[in-house]
């Protein structure tokens, strides 16, 4: 009896993974990944990223802030993180950049470290360069009350 339930669950998970993978592959086909990070393709054309701009308002609680400057040529590898040269605990005071959040020093098990946690080290996994551009795919998202201003 349990074997049949497990087979059904496995089948459902397999179908879900296939559906999500197909959706991602379909979306990736419509985006030109060869463009530099400074130019973003949209339905209307391309958007040129400014070198620096004021910060956009957040739209919900705990939203990762967007990057208000160019990141062209920034290197983030296992050994080098260019973002931390300005936003790191030691450097933010002299650069005037916002300090990296204390949440970035908590690992997946809840332990606090003096180093950036591995899951928070690759900044552009969550933080993206901002652009005031129309969405490539339409949506009905509205900011949480009191946000987005």
Residue ranges and CATH numbers for the domains of the chain are 51-125 (1.10.1130.10)
What are the distances in angstroms from CA 100 to CA 32, 53, 103?
A: 31, 19, 8
pLDDT tens string 41-92: 444 455 555 556 777 888 888 899 989 888 888 999 989 999 999 999 989 9
- Binding-site positions for heme c read 69, 83, 86-87, 104, 123, 126-127
Q: What is the pTM of this model?
A: 0.57
- Binding-site positions read 69, 83, 86-87, 104, 123, 126-127
pLDDT tens string 95-111: 989 999 999 999 999 99
User: Which residues contact residue 143 at a Cβ distance below 8 angstroms, ignoring those fewer than 6 apart?
Assistant: 57, 59, 60, 149
């Amino acid at each position: 009896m349990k074997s049949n339930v497990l087979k059904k669950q496995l089948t459902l998970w397999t179908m879900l993974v296939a559906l999500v993978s197909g959706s991602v592959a379909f979306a990736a086909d419509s985006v030109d990944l060869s463009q530099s990070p400074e130019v973003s393709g949209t339905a209307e054309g391309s958007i040129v990223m400014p070198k620096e701009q004021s910060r956009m308002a957040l739209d919900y609680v705990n939203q990762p802030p967007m990057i208000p400057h160019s990141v062209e040529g920034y290197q983030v590898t296992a050994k080098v993180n260019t973002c931390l040269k300005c936003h790191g605990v030691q450097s933010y005071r002299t650069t005037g950049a916002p300090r990296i959040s204390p949440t970035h020093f908590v690992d997946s098990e809840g332990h606090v470290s003096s180093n950036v946690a591995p899951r928070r080290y690759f900044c552009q996994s969550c933080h993206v360069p901002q652009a005031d551009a129309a969405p490539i795919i339409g949506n009905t998202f509205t900011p949480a009350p009191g946000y987005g201003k």
